[in-house]
Amino acid sequence: MPGRFGVGDLGPCAFEFADFLADAGQKLWQVLPLNPTGYGDSPYQCFSAFAGNPLLISLERLAERGLLQASDLAKVPAFPEESVDYGAVIQYKMPLLRRAAEVFFSDASGAERAAFERFAEGAGAWLDDYALFMAAKDAHAGAMWTTWEAELRGREAKALGEWRKKMAPEIAAYKYWQFEFFDQWQRLRDYCKDRGIRFMGDIPIYVAHDSADVWAHPDLFFLDEKGAPTVVSGVPPDYFSATGQLWGNPIYRWEALAERGYKWWIERFRASLALFDMVRLDHFRGFEAYWEVPGGETTAIHGCWRKGPGEDFLSALQNAFGGLPIVAENLGVITPPVEKLRQQFGLPGMSLLQFAFGTDPQGPSFRPHNYSRDLVAYTGGHDNDTTVGWWNSSVGADSTRSLEDVRKEHEFARAYLNFRDDAEINWVMIRAVMQSVADVAIVPLQDVLGLGSEARLNLPGRVSGNWKWRYKAGALGKELSARLRLFAGLYER
């Protein structure tokens, strides 16, 4: 989102976007994971699977409550308008968040302090470990937890007690930022609810190795005696990459999780469902079978399939929550057992229209005439190029497509979608998913705005330069909302 402070936040621009959605007749706002990002700024590689990202806290809201002064926000660096410079944002924003924490703990009213204590106690199962982890990480200049001294790395009780005492002010600040994040998020969610807008969140299947989750629960992952993963996550070669995708996350010890009734996963879902009305379960096929790569590999080629927790895991979730408000991300190498598992638990799948016309072997299933109602249909996803960028690319720079593949893909898409070259490809695709029988249709904002590859959010396999795009202030006008509202009305969305 736009805004003065270099990165989107939970302040005025978020509420303005909610107004745009309401004016456009939209009912669902899907977000990527909102957790604190680590190396590479990816929302799928976070320091915690439970915490919120402090960078999303609105400084303007803090100033309104007297936790910051107007003078604190008077001198703002010249941040780029259409991308996020994460390093510069962190350098600017974190000192201000620290100042707000100091003011809170010195000046908070009794009621405010009581609210904070209630939050900290309720979230204690994850918050205590997260706050200590981040404070210790700061004390080690950001170094990965596996490089810390053995006593702290191994979570010896004496060391934990000493560090909690030594880092008490820093730990308190990290807890306060979580209190503030969740309060600001709830205010936005209530605002959206009043306008008939629900939220879809996102639960990544894996967690980052350098995270409070792995440090606090090393017995739930395949790690060696020093905490390094012995096997890591990824996917085999596919449409996106001829060498596969090496994600590098540690692999779960599913037997250990099962012995504990999947408690950690249930609590993770509980935390997500407290924030969102429904969730996209990332890499659903990994719960049926997952690609395991030996630690130390540089690509995902030399991996193998391992059996996932499947029915046993989903049954545990169902027993804990009753109905499962889950959308299964069933993209990639999908086998009949994966689809059987999804259908057994009544979970809608996903379809990306961008995959419907090329060489992907599952292409026919992505064509609207083959859609089922229990589906969430997209023009494209966060790993795709934008629709305009995809259409204008002459070669498959992000995939295994050849020039001839691209030519045939375009030819088929023109015939299938019945459009002329002077038509706007993004709106042709938007109409196609909106008029389909899929119960839910979601359009990335870049496609609504008709932006090209410069607005691409993520290129799988690229280590840096992702997750930076922002839309410009003033980009969401009445004409755009009217076009979306027309389609929503025409197709009874």
Active site residues: 282, 329, 383
Tokens standing for 281?
A: 């379960």
- CA neighbor of 119 nearest in space, from 103, 108, 107: 108
User: How distant is the alpha carbon of residue 171 from its chain centre?
Assistant: 25
- CA neighbor of 338 nearest in space, from 267, 283, 296: 283
Could you tell me which residues come within 8 angstroms of residue 8 by beta carbon, excluding any fewer than 6 positions away?
1, 2, 14, 56, 84, 470
Q: Where are the alpha helices (DSSP H) in 231-386?
A: 254-259, 263-275, 285-288, 310-321, 336-344
Interior CA angle at 170 toward 166 and 176, to 5°? 140
Task: Let me know: does 376 contact 327? Beta carbons within 8 Å.
Answer: yes
What is the number of other CB atoms lying within 10 angstroms of the CB of residue 107?
Answer: 11
CA distances from 333 to 177, 338, 360 (A): 40, 9, 10
User: How distant is the alpha carbon of residue 356 from its chain centre?
Assistant: 24
| H helix or E strand, kind and range, residue 490 | helix 478-490
Q: What is the SS3 assignment for 198?
A: strand
Tokens standing for 200?
A: 């879809």
Q: CA quadruple 216, 221, 227, 233: dihedral positive or negative?
A: negative
Longest dimension (CA), the chain: 71
Task: Let me know: does 452 contact 388? Beta carbons within 8 Å.
Answer: yes
